[in-house]
A and B are shown apart, each in its own frame.
Chain A
Amino acid sequence: GNSVTQMEGPVTLSEEAFLTINCTYTATGYPSLFWYVQYPGEGLQLLLKATKADDKGSNKGFEATYRKETTSFHLEKGSVQVSDSAVYFCALSDGGYQKVTFGTGTKLQVIP
């Protein structure tokens, strides 16, 4: 079956530091890949997506590139802010009816 593996958290960074959260996946076929973010007390919201190999998703300074050869979709941001503190989920959809597979989430804490 499909699976998503994310790096363990929590990740603690100083403001303006570089962020990388690793994500690798296992799936048959050509899944779509997503990063969702969850702020305290809220549901998840889509941060970015990529639907085919070598696509780069980007939003709010975050980027991730769909790497089929390494089955990875690592999330990066050049300079984090305190407001980026949240839990980040990597996810995939294999084209089935909305059975999205999520990673376990990585908590990010950014300190001033």
Chain B
Amino acid sequence: KAGVTQTPRYLIKTRGQQVTLSCSPISGHRSVSWYQQTPGQGLQFLFEYFSETQRNKGNFPGRFSGRQFSNSRSEMNVSTLELGDSALYLCASTPQGKDEKLFFGSGTQLSVL
């Protein structure tokens, strides 16, 4: 069974641009969640989707948004990029999304210049 796949692996953008990250969960997993990982803050929860609905959201500004498609694939968008958005963005999937083991992808490393 293929694992969680995130694309692209690396991204370099400039301030003010927008970016879209993609996540394909493990086959059969309907819950996808996103985390931002930085050296100073560790992992911070962005949001969680299940069956195309956002069920939970972390404390991030509205510039961070996401969506999930009918095949459970998810995208995350960040608009008007700031230097502080430089981070590793991790996607995780689970079958139902409740108290279960998270299966993580390798992440997308975003650098904002």
- A residues at B contact (CB < 8 Å): 32, 34, 36, 41-46, 49, 51, 89, 93, 95-105
Contacts and interface: CB of A to CB of B under 8 A. Distances in A.
Contacts of B97: 97-98
Interface string B7-34: 0000000000000000000000001010
Contacts of A104: 41-42
A44 B42 CA distance: 12
B45 A101 contact: yes
Interface residues of B, number: 27
Given A96-B56, A97-B55, A45 B104 contact: yes
B4 interface: yes
A70 B107 CA distance: 34
Interface of B: 4, 31, 33, 35, 41-45, 48, 50, 55-56, 58, 90, 92, 94, 97-102, 104-107
Contacts of A43: 4, 90, 92, 104-107
A95 B96 CA distance: 12
Nearest to A42: B106
Given A44-B90, A99-B58, A104-B42, A93 B4 contact: no
9 contacts: A36-B104, A43-B107, A44-B90, A45-B104, A97-B50, A98-B94, A99-B56, A101-B45, A105-B43
